Amino acid sequence: MANFSPSLLVDAQAQFLGKFVAAEWRLPDTAILSSMYLGQKANPNLAALRRKESKTVKAYLPIRKAKGSGTDRLYNHSGDYGDSAAVTLSWETLAETFAINLDQGLDNVFSYQEQYAANMRSCVNNLLERHETLLLAKLKADYTEINKGRVLNGTWDAATNQMKIANTAKDFFFQRIKRSMRNNLFGNDLMVITDSIGATYAEHAANQGVANATNLGWTLDGMSIAQTTNEIDATLEGAAIVFPMEMAGIVPWIPVKNRQSLNYEQAMNSVRGAYGSFQVPVLDANGNVIYNLDFAISMYSKRADGSEIGGTKQDDQFEVEVSLDVAYVSSPLSAFRATGDWAGKTDSVVYGFGVNAL
């Protein structure tokens, strides 16, 4: 039942504390959010340029000219002008809301403050999970259609834009990833987001000692590997999303009026309410805090009859909204490589890999 009604002080009751409630409040998986934040380093001013939701923000970079055909030096040589490419950042807003009455905690095991904190925690966890799922979809939609990195035991699947490695070579999955990326002229310093099966391959390789005849630790050199609990591709026996570090990422944003601490007194005593923000730590796959993410909060009050939800007939109802805008961005590429067999294909810095199922 909603509104904390199961915990009304009707009978003798007690709260479950500590680890007993830890299962319900497990921290959400933010491996993708933590990995993608690195891309923001490309231009930290992108979020500052957006003053309101309707503002269009573009990022630019010079692009490489197509190869010429000259075979001699000419006195009257002439050439084409250079060009640049632009990427328009598209922010998507996700929001979670809840309501709470001031008198809800008067006859409840949980005080108003505890109920408020639980609702806020739910909103934050839900938003983290929703953004994690959204970013995974964005990455997969951005898979390159051009992969010139043919590798041993690997087959390019043009239908899914993935380099698929034979199951018999799964122990060398990450070595094949490195070689394919190198063939596409991307060297070390790769960001790899892999599923639980891929993470198992990485763990196996990392724990084959140097003195072991099957030492595989070298296959992981030059890569930062993060495991997501989300499914990347259920048809594969292990999948990974790979991009050069800092070439794909996110730009978080909250409205200008929210870039301050929430004035709770104003929020609770004014119909107009108040706007503010608070920080949420984002953890990597190992539980380490990578950065703090600003969430926007809006709160206002109104008179209400709260007797049906454990409050009083003359009660104060508070409406709370927690939100965050995130834009996905990857380095824009020209059609420089879209020639020959790759004519008409879209190039990207984001690559898909997988191990074929038996």
Query: Residue 56 CB: number of other CB atoms within 10 A?
Result: 9
pLDDT tens, 173-216? 999 999 999 999 998 789 999 999 999 999 888 876 555 545 55
pLDDT surpassing 90 at residue 241: yes
What is the residue whose two structure tokens read 């005080």? 111
- Residue 68 pLDDT: 72
DSSP H stretches of helix in the chain? 31-36, 46-49, 112-141, 173-183, 196-206, 264-269
Lowest mean pLDDT among 123-132, 285-294, 326-335: 285-294
Pairing of strands 83-89, 57-63: antiparallel
Contact 330, 252 (CB under 8 A): no
Which residues have C-beta within 8 Å of that of residue 234, sequence separation ≥ 6?
Answer: none
- Residue 196 pLDDT: 95
pLDDT tens, 135-183? 999 999 999 999 998 899 999 999 999 999 999 999 999 999 999 999 9
pLDDT tens, 58-88? 776 666 777 777 778 777 877 777 777 777 7
Distance CA 180, CA 35 (A): 21
Residue 126 confidence class, pLDDT cut points 50, 70, 90: very high
Residue 23 confidence class, pLDDT cut points 50, 70, 90: low
pLDDT tens, 347-358? 999 999 999 998
Q: Residue 142: which region, alpha, beta or left (left: phi > 0; alpha: psi -120 to 50)?
A: alpha
Contact 180, 351 (CB under 8 A): yes
Selected residue with higher pLDDT from 353 and 103: 353
Distance CA 323, CA 147 (A): 37
**The dihedral of CA 92, 139, 259, 51: what is its sign?**
negative
Exposed (0-12), middle (13-18) or buried (19+): which is 135, by Cβ within 10 Å?
buried
Residue 268 confidence class, pLDDT cut points 50, 70, 90: confident
- Supply the pTM of this predicted model: 0.84
Strand partners, 243: 191
Which has the closest alpha carbon to 191: 128, 237, 139? 139
CA neighbours closer than 13 Å in the CB half-sphere of residue 70 = 11
Distance CA 190, CA 181 (A): 9
Contact 176, 151 (CB under 8 A): yes
DSSP H stretches of helix in 212-304? 264-269
Residue 13 confidence class, pLDDT cut points 50, 70, 90: very low
Strand partners, 93: 325
Structure tokens at 253: 């944003």
Selected residue with higher pLDDT from 40 and 113: 113
